[in-house]
Amino acid sequence: MRNTSGFTLVELLTVILIIGLLAVIALPRFVNTREKAFYTAMRSDLRNLATAEEDYFAEHLSYTGNTGELDSYRTSKRIIVSVPEATEKGWRAKATHELNTDLECEIYYGTATGATIATKGGAVYCNN
Q: What is the pLDDT of residues 65-111, one digit of tens each?
A: 888 888 888 999 999 999 998 888 889 999 999 988 788 999 999 88
| Rounded-to-integer distance, Cα 7 and Cα 128, Å | 48
1 pLDDT band (50/70/90 cuts)? Answer: low
Q: What is the pLDDT of residues 7-39, one digit of tens each?
A: 889 999 999 999 999 989 888 887 788 888 999
| Rounded-to-integer distance, Cα 63 and Cα 72, Å | 14
Q: Which pairs count as long-range contacts for 125-128, CB under 8 Å and 24+ apart, including other chains?
A: 126/39, 126/42, 126/43, 127/102, 127/103, 128/35, 128/39, 128/103
Q: What is the pLDDT of residues 31-70, one digit of tens each?
A: 788 888 999 999 999 999 999 999 999 998 888 888 888 8
